[in-house]
Structure 1
């Protein structure tokens, strides 16, 4: 019985998608006054775990059986749940806020002593879309992995291949007190009355990030003979020459910061201050930049790309929360 459940990819896809959405919701809500358990069990909020679950259900059925009557049934069920999430339940939550204000007024007049009402019941359209994406990605990765161990190896391979870029993306924060190349990339110029990128995007950050990424690729060549690292290596690091190490490190480091630079350009146009949250692009910019440039050396597989689009934002959220609690960032995400 237990073994049948563990090897039923439909059940596992639904469970993982739901738990992933709830865990992400808990991480985003960590600095609230609620306990982590209350945040994990709460309905509503970002992202929609209901949308993740039903999307994973429908996608898993489609991947296994194709356009069958069962897929049609699960799809209709999914549409109803998703529509309810950002329609009826969201409206109910908004109405509850109004009712609570009325109740508080009566309470102050000592005419009523009500129990606390739950405001967060539904989701915005964006929260539902993120939930749907989580469900689709989880279902795809689980359905097309031969074994669970193979899934973990694939995640490890994607993360290890991109790790020099993922890690070097944090380097500008640690070198900001160095005066060398402390020159804004936009040279202080503006476009249509707004800074192009901002004074915080410097040539210093690019220089040290690229240098560190090249160093990490070199370390990967030294670790290639270790069985664990050999297992998760996407390329044969032992065969890389000096110029190939420099090229791969440059593409990973430059790609990560270029993605962040393009996001800063958009934020300046939208009057979003440097350091302020721009979800979900703050979590995706450097991953998209890495994927856009590393294909010049060797393009990751489609499965690795999906894995990076999951792992990259997850890692970014973790580091942002650490920076937020250390007072290094203004926003937790």
Structure 2
């Protein structure tokens, strides 16, 4: 196998918990809606100093917690496919990547609110990469990823983000295709 492709696959495998964590809030929101549970916005409806919501109604505790849990579960599942890895170290890695992905998503929402964009409005690159950048930054102690691999993953993430959002829209999981 080409070494470039091998590096990409290795990097994607490493940060897979961040990807799954990033998609978990959409499913958590749908489950919340199906069962009629109340959503709990992380910002509690509070405004920032500019008079705008900090994150908006779409960023909920349910989604944030679901993201971390799914990130950890993904890391635990990964231990079954790798020889001589520690369940403990992979669990910590899953927590770091899941938490980082959720914080990155919140950061993206915060930036969008400051720019006056409504929840769900597109903001290219921030929408696709904020979760990834923060997840990797928080997880650097627990993952091994080169700068070259990061670039591969960033480009792949943009393509995957556009594709999966469109599919989620077509499946009725999202109200907008971005």
Q: Same fold (TM over 0.5)?
A: yes
SS at match of 1:298: coil
Following TM superposition, where does structure 1 have runs of at least 4 consecutive aligned residues deviating by more than 4 angstroms? none
> Matches of residues 120-199 of structure 1 in structure 2 within 5 Å?
149-176=2-29, 177-178=31-32, 182-191=39-48, 192-199=50-57
**Cα gap change, 1:280 to 1:239, in 2 (>3 Å):** closer
- Measured in 1, the distance between the counterparts of 2:87 and 2:26 equals 30
Deviation at 1:204, TM superposition (A): 1.3
> Matches of residues 1-333 of structure 1 in structure 2 within 5 Å?
149-176=2-29, 177-178=31-32, 182-191=39-48, 192-225=50-83, 238-242=84-88, 244-333=89-178
Equivalent pairs, count: 173
Bigger RCO of structures 1 and 2 (CA < 8 A, at least 6 apart): 2
Deviation at 1:328, TM superposition (A): 4.0
The C-alpha deviation readout for 1:31-68, integer Å capped at 9, x for no partner, is xxxxxxxxxxxxxxxxxxxxxxxxxxxxxxxxxxxxxx
Deviation at 1:313, TM superposition (A): 1.1
- Measured in 1, the distance between the counterparts of 2:68 and 2:161 equals 19
**Cα gap change, 1:288 to 1:241, in 2 (>3 Å):** same
The C-alpha deviation readout for 1:73-96, integer Å capped at 9, x for no partner, is xxxxxxxxxxxxxxxxxxxxxxxx
**Cα gap change, 1:297 to 1:318, in 2 (>3 Å):** same
Asked which structure has the greater CA Rg, the reply is 1
Contact kept? 1:164, 1:213, Cα under 8 Å = yes
Compute the TM-score of the two structures, normalised by the length of structure 1: 0.49
User: Which residues of structure 2 form unaligned runs of 5+?
Assistant: none
Aligned alpha-carbon RMSD (Å) = 1.9
